[in-house]
Structure 1
Amino acid sequence: MSIQTRRLLGTSLLLTSLMFGASQALAEVVLHRGNSGEPQTLDQANTSIDIEAFILKDLYEGLTIYDAKGEIVPGAAESWTISDDGTVYTFKIRENAKWSDGSPVTAEDFVYSIQRVQNPETAAKYANILYPIKNAEKANKGEAKLEEIGVKAVDEKTLEVTLERATPFFLELLAHQTALPVSKASVEKNGKDFVKPGVMVSNGAYKLESHVPNDNLVVVKNESHWDAANTQIDKVVFYPIDDQAASVRRFEAKEMDLVYNFSADQINRLKDSYGEQVRVSPSASTYYYVFDTRQEPFSDVRVRQALSMAVDRDFLANEIYSGAQLPTYSLVPDGLGGYEAAKADFAEMSQLDREDKAIELMKEAGYGEGGKPLAIEIRYNTNPNHERVATAVADMWKNTFGATVTMTNLDVASHYAYLQEGGAFNVARAGWVADYADAENFLGLNVSTNTSFNYGKYNNPEFDALMAKSYTEGDADARKKILHDAEVMLMRDQPIAPLMSTANLWLVSDRVTGWQDNAANEHLSRFLRVAE
């Protein structure tokens, strides 16, 4: 071989190597996320469940966000100041914050978005999240004009928010999906179609590329995002699979990198096979059953107390969830924001003593042996764990009271839509994850005016009065005492039966780095990395 031939061959090999290296460097980085259900909506004003939040927080960015550790950090706002009395927040929006169409994110976009959420015509399910803002609640109830809400664009990049009263957890509220902004220009131009692929204009790390209901939803990197240079994943594919066994199989086949929620009876097997890829982390959340207090016999407090007492929570937590959940007798997770939860008065009784007391209460109410027959329907969202819980509870009620129990299940979106729209039921499964670290977030679910989340339509003026008093109490310790008293009343009346403090269950592929377990269960795709 001549010197010239060797030179040409060497040059060819070098070019081939460079081209191969370039193609590798340019390879699209894709994250495949199992999301355990189809979202009801991609309109942040009407969102209500976590599987929607995971998508929306990739698409949009609030004034504040949660980082990978689950801690509040600046988002679209680079900084803020708070008045001495804690009632006025002034946010400086990033100069380079842009929408996916390249237009600037402005203070007026946030004013418009907050007013839109509080507009009664929007019928936002989570409007109460922003009630701490001055006149927000009044506007939402039609008692004040939208222009009277305490949000003002001082200039294009400065937003001033005035509160009704000091709210220590306000920055956390702003990271909730309901507080995510919309592009005023896009919504005014496109109306309800602003959520559609090819139409949506977003300001988060990603933009919506496609959505095939019950199949997949694809978001791609938003090059207009202010921190796009640090977003390493180019595309995220969300799979709305509520079949947990199918999700696990796809994870094991390396078709999905993340799986949210899997059957708890698989924990030990999966840990044996996948070790630290199985993530079980504490969550500030409660798994509970709610009773429809509008109809007999669930309108009778004795019936509700008896049914709650008869549930063996230890069995549910240990046998069904393999210890991944903890039994609970309070709605508020203990220790949340320094709060001491109020437990039901039967919490310290043995299960046998609870059952004896439950039978006594049920007889007083005229049901059970020698009384009227007890027929109960349990509703739950489709999920093997929820089915096993419902089956176990049905067996407990049958054995204790001779009840006839049937079960009905719907997909997660339909289940919660039915409850939020006021559909009648007997007993329904529900869960609540803290939106912010304050007991009010849980107790406020049961205020009679909370039409979205007071599924059982519990109505107790004394409870409502205590909750109202908590909103005006400025002393932190005194406020916690008021909330505690409210929970004592709630646990006495048992419109809901808290069953377990839930854990976050994830499968995280060893291809994924940057993952950090956190109680807030916040995992933005922009903070993750995927090794190809």
Structure 2
Amino acid sequence: MSLADLLGVFLMGALWAPAALAQAAPSQLERGNGPEPSTLDAHRCQEVACGNVLRDLYEGLVTEDARGRLVPGMAERWSVSADGRSWTFVLRDNLRWSNGEPIDAGQVVASFRRAFAPATAAPFGELFDALDNAQAVQAGKLPPERLGVSAPDPRSVRFRLNRSASLPALLTLPIAFPVYLPAVETHGAQHTRPGQLVSNGAYRLAAWTPQANLLLEKNPRFHDAAAVAIERVRFQVTEDAAAELQRFAAGDLHITEVVPPQPLASLRARFGSQLRLSPYLGAFWLGLNVTRPPFRSDACATQDCDERALALRRALSMAIDRDKLTRYVTGLGETPAYGIVPPGIAGYVPATTTWATQPQAQREAHARALYRHAGYSSDNPLVIELRYNTSTPHRRLALAVAAMWRQTLGVQVRLRNEEWKVFVQNRKQRTITQVFRGGWIGDLADARNFLAAFGSDGPLNWMGYDDAAYRERLAKADAAKSETARNAWLRAAEQRLLNDDATIPLYFYSSKHLVSRRVRGFESNALDRHASRWLSLTP
């Protein structure tokens, strides 16, 4: 071969390097993942971005298959007592951490105790209120050793509950993942960094470039490693949905986390079967900080003050045209919401606002009357801040809501856009927030999962909602002897919350992704969870 020929081959190789790399390394999955994960500490995770990564890094006693069905995880089997209050999980043989050390039941118990220790401040701890002593341990009233979890032998983990509950579904949450405690003791908060994070799932953390991506590599010590097809997974930070779509179109991503608001017909024409839309157990709402004015009047304690604050909250809710929001602003299968719990949960009939069936013109007229009753007018307009995290869809929605409030009521809205970690912290502190982006993505198919946060002063009660009658209804649901009675009390609790207008429901989610034709094994499911271990890539 001549020098010219050799040079031509070299140049062709350089020109086609991306394609050549794709052929040489067909087993790296590129996933859009939304904002930068706030943490990779499984016990402290509270959002989808970290949950997606953690479900690849870790495995709990129970896990989910590609269709969202509960299947054995670390535990090969489990059983429950006749009264539903004692669960025993039997571990698989030869479970190992990613560093090769063995895993036994004692380590699982110790990890649970760490999860509920007050210093951990696990945000999802309140979802385990059925676990014996869990709330008292998390509040520091009892030592972690009193938590209702024990290890009768090296392969058995036993849970004691104070009421019957669907424990296996709860054990799929990141708070129930085993954390390698020697790394926590040695590195503290830095135990989540590459080279220091020890996990037990299908993948291990190889690299983390802040505000860019996280690279995971296959964990050869995972008990089902032989069935894991993809060698590496890169989770890309993709806060800008429009930019994420362009990266997918350019071939830089195999799966997007979201799809930006665009006409559905044009998306289908452009991407065909790569556009995946399906029902999703998620609710989007705006939260109102009811611990501070103007949504709670601290200037006086009279009933009239409370009525004016309630009138204002309801006026803002009624002034929003949800049909327009879901048709023209979101437009990808979402449905208008007038409640907190989305449809699709077996046996549960969701509650709704008392005015949901009114025509929009009638709602707006009522909203203007309530606005005046609250003490506001064109000469004395309400001035509020609407806070949301960085995201193209969230910005579009905030602009639309602000325009509706201005047009219908004359409200002056200041939009506040914050990076995810800052937004989460401000929302949790309830100090400077007034109206903020809220919502809930179901952790399990249970109405209580959408309602529990409003029943305590925990880190997930971003509005500061405090109502004894609401808590009483939740308690009666927990004590109910039948599923029918339980759902009836949960519905009564949801109705109480809606009547108090502490939140402004906007829409129920649909899951929406762009999925490359190269990806196999991507199955729609109600909780929209897609662990990489179930996926594969065609060449």
Band the TM-score falls in, shorter-chain normalisation: over 0.9
Letter in 2 for 1:152: S
Provide the residue aligned with 1:11 in structure 2.
none
Instruction: Establish whether residue 264 from structure 1 lines up as the match of residue 273 from structure 2.
Output: no
Instruction: Establish whether residue 311 from structure 1 lines up as the match of residue 320 from structure 2.
Output: yes
Instruction: Establish whether residue 465 from structure 1 lines up as the match of residue 472 from structure 2.
Output: yes
Which of 499, 502, 505 pairs up with 1:498? 505
2-structure distance, mates of 1:401, 1:245: 32
1:57-86: CA deviation from partner (whole Å, max 9, x where unpaired): 100000111110011111111111111111
Letter in 1 for 2:86: V
Letter in 1 for 2:283: T
Letter in 1 for 2:231: D
Deviation at 1:364, TM superposition (A): 1.1
Instruction: Establish whether residue 240 from structure 1 lines up as the match of residue 249 from structure 2.
Output: no
Q: What TM-score do the two structures reach when normalised by structure 2?
A: 0.91
Provide the residue aligned with 1:105 in structure 2.
103
Which of 190, 206, 211 pairs up with 1:209? 206
Unaligned runs of 5+ in 2: 1-20, 297-308
Which of 172, 178, 194 pairs up with 2:175? 178
1:199-237: CA deviation from partner (whole Å, max 9, x where unpaired): 111000000001010011100000000000000100001
Instruction: Establish whether residue 442 from structure 1 lines up as the match of residue 450 from structure 2.
Output: yes
1:67–1:522: 8 Å Cα contact kept in structure 2?
no
Instruction: Establish whether residue 389 from structure 1 lines up as the match of residue 393 from structure 2.
Output: no
Provide the residue aligned with 1:277 in structure 2.
274
Residue pairs, 1:261-410, within 5 angstroms: 261-265=258-262, 267-299=264-296, 300-369=309-378, 372-410=380-418
Deviation at 1:27, TM superposition (A): 4.8
Provide the residue aligned with 2:75 in structure 1.
77
Provide the residue aligned with 2:435 in structure 1.
427
Letter in 2 for 1:416: V
Letter in 1 for 2:510: A
1:446–1:458: 8 Å Cα contact kept in structure 2?
yes
> Which moves more between the two structures, 188-197 or 28-37?
188-197
1:241–1:247: 8 Å Cα contact kept in structure 2?
yes
1:136–1:149: 8 Å Cα contact kept in structure 2?
yes
Q: 1:82 to 1:406 in 2, by over 3 A?
A: same
Residue pairs, 1:101-180, within 5 angstroms: 101-167=99-165, 169-180=166-177
SS in 1 for 2:438: strand
Letter in 1 for 2:288: F
SS in 2 for 1:289: strand
Q: 1:285 to 1:97 in 2, by over 3 A?
A: same
1-structure distance, mates of 2:262, 2:424: 25
Residue identity over aligned pairs, in percent, reads 36
2-structure distance, mates of 1:516, 1:507: 13
SS in 1 for 2:325: helix
2:426–2:433: 8 Å Cα contact kept in structure 1?
no
2:332–2:512: 8 Å Cα contact kept in structure 1?
no
Deviation at 1:415, TM superposition (A): 1.7
2-structure distance, mates of 1:187, 1:75: 23
Letter in 2 for 1:437: A
Deviation at 1:477, TM superposition (A): 1.5
2:388–2:423: 8 Å Cα contact kept in structure 1?
yes
SS in 2 for 1:406: strand
Deviation at 1:136, TM superposition (A): 0.8
SS in 2 for 1:250: helix
1:274-298: CA deviation from partner (whole Å, max 9, x where unpaired): 2111111110110100111122221
Deviation at 1:453, TM superposition (A): 1.4
1-structure distance, mates of 2:431, 2:231: 41
2-structure distance, mates of 1:450, 1:337: 29
Deviation at 1:323, TM superposition (A): 4.6
CA RMSD of aligned residues (A): 1.6
1:335–1:341: 8 Å Cα contact kept in structure 2?
no
2-structure distance, mates of 1:111, 1:139: 14
SS in 1 for 2:505: strand
1:26-71: CA deviation from partner (whole Å, max 9, x where unpaired): 9561000111110010001110001110100100000111110011
2-structure distance, mates of 1:423, 1:58: 35
Which of 444, 449, 455 pairs up with 2:462? 455
Provide the residue aligned with 2:53 in structure 1.
55
SS in 1 for 2:38: coil
Residue pairs, 1:208-227, within 5 angstroms: 208-227=205-224
Letter in 2 for 1:201: V
1-structure distance, mates of 2:346, 2:185: 40
SS in 1 for 2:235: strand
SS in 1 for 2:423: helix
2-structure distance, mates of 1:189, 1:152: 25
SS in 1 for 2:246: helix
1:83-138: CA deviation from partner (whole Å, max 9, x where unpaired): 11111111111113211011112111211111111101111111112222111111
1-structure distance, mates of 2:24, 2:93: 29
Deviation at 1:183, TM superposition (A): 1.7
2:457–2:466: 8 Å Cα contact kept in structure 1?
no
Provide the residue aligned with 1:417 in structure 2.
425
1:60–1:203: 8 Å Cα contact kept in structure 2?
yes
SS in 2 for 1:274: helix
Deviation at 1:266, TM superposition (A): 5.3
Provide the residue aligned with 1:531 in structure 2.
538
1:332–1:442: 8 Å Cα contact kept in structure 2?
yes
2-structure distance, mates of 1:511, 1:414: 36
Which of 484, 498, 506 pairs up with 2:491? 484
Q: 1:344 to 1:24 in 2, by over 3 A?
A: closer
> Which moves more between the two structures, 461-470 or 93-102?
461-470
1-structure distance, mates of 2:289, 2:25: 54
1:66–1:73: 8 Å Cα contact kept in structure 2?
yes
Deviation at 1:313, TM superposition (A): 0.2
Residue pairs, 1:18-29, within 5 angstroms: 27=25, 29=27
1:32–1:256: 8 Å Cα contact kept in structure 2?
yes
1-structure distance, mates of 2:395, 2:485: 41
1:90–1:161: 8 Å Cα contact kept in structure 2?
yes
Deviation at 1:342, TM superposition (A): 0.9
1:282–1:503: 8 Å Cα contact kept in structure 2?
yes
Letter in 2 for 1:291: L
2-structure distance, mates of 1:47, 1:402: 39
1-structure distance, mates of 2:369, 2:55: 50
